[in-house]
Structure 1
Amino acid sequence: MNETPAQSNGRPIAERVATRLLYPTSRPRAKTLREAVDGKVVLVTGASHGIGKASARKLGAAGAIVLLVARSADDLRQVAAEIEADGGTAHVYPADLTDMDAVERLARQFLDEHGHIDVVINNAGKSIRRSISDSYDRFHDFTRTIDINYLGPVRLLLTLLPDMRERKQGHIVNISTWGVLMPPAPQWAAYGASKSAFDVWLRSVAAEVSGDGVATTSIYMPLVHTRMSAPTDFSRVPGLTVDEASDLVCHAVTTRPREIAPWWSAPVQAWTNLTRNQVQRFFERGRSLLPGSSSRT
């Protein structure tokens, strides 16, 4: 399909310019990425679609041995075939990360079959936007969200961390959200709480394991236009493409920073701390104008 003069990569040029200004990304050079991951065992959860799939493909092309985890075996096999067509190596592990016993068995299987894990990219997640008035009879919204966004990755890492610490090397990359750094937003209670829980857990654990050579990186990802975000109408909101988001993941794996966040998040946090009550009142005044609920199940 031909693009109009007002479009770039299928998106309005104005949005692409805004995205570049608000969320600048960094793509590692191919040689640098290969030097960082060639021959390394990299585990990617949520690898069947979106950011996980794009990241796995780029890491596989750079020489990583990629372990693909998601619920759909067919989708994972397709991703593996694409990685292998590019000359990479991939292994498929269909799994439900909300089944804690299965997650533990899966982690032990990784260690049995590959000896160790060099990098864990915690990308699998569930997003849901629903007002609290629509949630009174939907406690499962909260349990399902916290299982995949918090308890599942904790269960996985509790099994993988001892080997990383013993080997004195390892890297955990968490795909978080910039919303964790911002004032709590209406209608995002389930999602925000679950992502915040794992963010705090990982930062706390990082203080204990860094002395053993295990690095952690939290990517406070801005909006990314994926099928997970699609149920909410973000069509007019500047956001990253999947390709741009996966560049951030590759940058994290290459440089191992403690965190990656939009450049404006720190001043906004500082301003929020000074004006917390005003921000809360703003949300309260605007609640009647909020759009309807949506979720990704």
Structure 2
Amino acid sequence: MAIVYLNGEYLPADEARVSVLDRGFVFADGVYEVIPAYGGRLLRLEQHLQRLDNSLAGIRLANPLDRLQWGQVLEEIVKRNSENNGDLSIYLQVTRGAAKRDHVFPDEVKQTVFVMATPMSPVPDEQLENGIAAISHDDIRWRYCHIKSIALLPNTLMRQVAREAGAAEAILYRDDQVTEGAASNVFIVHNGRIITPRKDECLLPGITRDLILEIAADNGLDCEEADISMQMLREADEIWVTSSTKEILPVTHLDGQAVGNGKPGPVWRDMLDRYQQYKDKLRQGIAQ
């Protein structure tokens, strides 16, 4: 039985209980993070905790734990759920807590803090060999997508639309400019250059996204943050979607049309190799 953390206690997942008046349940009034743990080592913990700070500030909610306390909780959750020494996906969520239902923030409230670990499944070989299909979709979400809010209904609706179209992801756009995927960041390779949309309120500043940019820069690859029009997306030699759990996936078909030659491209293969090398260093304790 998986062990979770809830409001200061470590307990079996089936024993964890949250009030039905919790504002996370009633209003989706909360934020979350997802942190991979490779070989028991958390990926980019400081960056994830900084993004958590930013998200909490964005919804005007105090952080219930300091960095040291978060580190202790997360390390303990990894330890208690690492029986087979497999890779884990750590999910943490902070809500405004239980209070009388009212749209206005309650004057006094105790945040609800929840952390769980899920075994991380490897990306299927078929997706690595053949890539995935994606659709394009108008970005129907709210304007503060840089906040990692638990209010994910628009994202789930767009992922469902993608699934019903036989695709694995929806690539979103506003005013003809690519923002991100429904549950991922987006990269393209265009005329030999790796490009990802620049950070703003329309997209989540992905930790995996930033790591890929760092790896590219460290290895002298031509990479930049810039606007990506829908025309550039459709003309791209390669398209990738990235996330903490899926890492880097090649999109080989978009809206039923082949991307490039319809197969995972060489730049993606090179970047995936470099990303795996980074993970190996993390497991050995020589990277963060």
Q: TM-score, normalised by structure 1?
A: 0.28
Compare the two structures and name the one with the higher helix fraction.
1
Query: Which structure features the higher share of strand residues?
Result: 2
- Structure with more relative contact order (C-alpha pairs < 8 Å, separation 6 or more): 1
